[in-house]
Each structure stands twice: as C-alpha cells, then as structure tokens.
Amino acid sequence: MERRAFILKSMILTASGVLSQNSFGVSAVTPPEVALKPFLLPARAPLEDKGGMEIRVLIRSSVTDGLYSNVECAVAPKMMGPPPHFHRELDELMYVADGTASILIGDDIVEVQAGGWHLRPRLIKHTFWNASDKPLRFIDMYFNQPFEEYLERIFHELTAENGFPEGSEAKKKEINDLNEKFGVIFPSDAFTERNEIMKKYSLK
C-alpha cells in the first residue's frame, strides 16, 4: 500500500509541475521565462459608426510579441467596405458582435450574423459590407502581422485635417506605400467589382 500511495502521489505532483519529469524523486521545477505578460482589457461602450465606418484598436501586436492583434469595427447601415483585395501574409478572423456582415470570399458571398465567425486566410480575394438597415459591429483579428497599424494610419492619420484630403496625390502615395509594406493587393478589376456590389445592394 505504501508503494501504491507513493506512485499516486508522484503522478499527481508530476502532473502539477512540482516534480521534474526527467529525474527520479522530488525536485523543484523552475518555470521558463515567458515573453508574454498578462493584461486586462477593460470593458468599453460599443464603438459608434458615426454614419460611415470606424475602427478602434483593442489589442496591439506589441503586447502579444507580434503574434496577434485585433480591432473593433463599426459599419453604418447600407455601407460598403474596401474594394476586393487579398493579403500576401495576413490571416483574418472575424467575429460579428452586432448585425449581419455580408462577405465576398473568392467568388462566393456569405452572410455572418451576430455570434458568428468567419476566417479569411491569406491569398484569397475578399471584402465585406453591411447590406442591412441596422448597424454592423465586429471584431477583426489578425495573426502574424501588425495590421492594426495599417488601419490606424488609414482611418485616423491620413485625414484631411492632417493634410491628406481625399483623392489627393499625397494620400494616394501614402496608401500605396502602406499596401506595399503590408502586402495588400488589389486585383485590376477591384474597383469595378466594388461599384457593382454597391449598385446591386444599394450601398454608399
């Protein structure tokens, strides 16, 4: 009975990390150094779309050692997203919090309702829009690339107030540089396809 009790105790201690798996008998295990640090993201009021499309960074790549980041996105009713495009390196995972997201993925269109998820792997053409009469809000998650930096630059820095009016050569150059840096590629017919989607679903 004593031997049985010893074996059971050893198994429990090993499973809990107190015993080393590479030695006989009891020895303390020192936890390895961890690059990632715990953090708490406080609750916030839902993001407002402000009559168009808005983003807010929730988790930055810098706090996950470059592994992961995400943004919250709010899209007004009947609002089109970006022209169809694809990414060289980025994989995206969307979680719809409110409303319904319409997504072009390749040549197919899918609808993702609140509570649903949608994965868009790299190198697949895609875009999204809100075809409904209600606001859309989702969390877009990014892996292996700090894509939140791209979106913040587009939405919050390349503005008319900062000297980048819509359609200006300065803004076009900055966006082209960003696309090159982050591997965002627009097919030759991307803007034509976007216009067709807008017309079909009466989007703005």
pLDDT of residue 39: 85
Q: Is 24 exposed, middle or buried (0-12, 13-18, 19+ CB in 10 A)?
A: exposed
pLDDT digits (tens, 9 = 90+) for 145-177: 999 999 999 999 999 999 999 999 999 999 999
Question: Residue 127, Cβ neighbours under 10 Å: how many?
Answer: 20
CATH (residue range 53-201): 2.60.120.10
Lowest-confidence segment of 35-49, 132-146, 179-193 by average pLDDT: 35-49
Fill in the amino acid letter for 80.
M
Q: What is the mean pLDDT of residues 187-193?
A: 97
Q: Where are the domains of the chain?
A: 1-32, 53-201
6 confidence band (pLDDT: 50, 70, 90)? low
Q: What is the pLDDT of residues 32-67, one digit of tens each?
A: 676 778 889 999 999 999 999 999 999 999 999 999
